[in-house]
Amino acid sequence: MNVQKIYEYALQREEEGFRFFSDHATNTRHAVIKEIFERLADEEAGHISFIKRHLAATDDSQPANEPDLGGSGWFDQRAAAEQLEQSLSESMLPDVAVLRTAFLIERDLAEFYEMAADRAEGQNRKVFQQLAAWERGHETLFKDLHDRIFKHYTEMPWGG
């Protein structure tokens, strides 16, 4: 397995995610979802830096520092509890589709990192496991947001 190529691919995917979340933070109507997208874009920027450090280590044949095996950032601690009721009262159909797309992006990336971890060894396995855990946390967040908003939307009176 060529670990450098996996890091390069991961870097491209994280940069795509960063652009997606940044763009949708600008375009969403929901204040809470906007904040979540902004914070997720910040986390994706952190993932980009994390991957770049490990990519540079593969170029130099030097191991990078141990991966940060702490929590998966802002989302695990706060997102599900943040002012979702405010968000639910606003017009939401466009954001339901965006949340579904965000969920699928995060799920796909988590699966990619899990596959890479299964094939990697040592330090690289830990790095990919950490990235997968972060993405699984994001996946769970977006699935929950999507399901809650979609349920609320479908129960609104026509034209709501």
Quote the pTM value: 0.77
Answer yes or no: is 19 within a domain: yes
Owning domain of residue 13: 3-155
Domain assignment present for residue 15? The answer is yes
Tell me how far CA of residue 157 lies from CA of 120, 138, 154, in angstroms.
52, 31, 8
Contact 7, 112 (CB under 8 A): no
CATH number at residue 60: 1.20.1260.10
Q: What is the pLDDT of residues 108-157, one digit of tens each?
A: 999 999 999 999 999 999 999 999 999 999 999 888 888 888 787 788 77
| pLDDT single digits (tens) 39-56 | 889 999 999 999 999 999
In a domain, 49, yes or no: yes
Cα Rg of the chain, angstroms:
17
Answer yes or no: is 9 within a domain.
yes
Count of domains observed in the chain: 1
Examine residue 160 and state whether it is found in any structural domain, yes or no. no
116 lies in a domain?
yes
Euclidean distance between CA atoms 102 and 138, whole angstroms: 9
Token reading at 133: 């855990």
Cβ atoms 48, 18 nearer than 8 A: yes
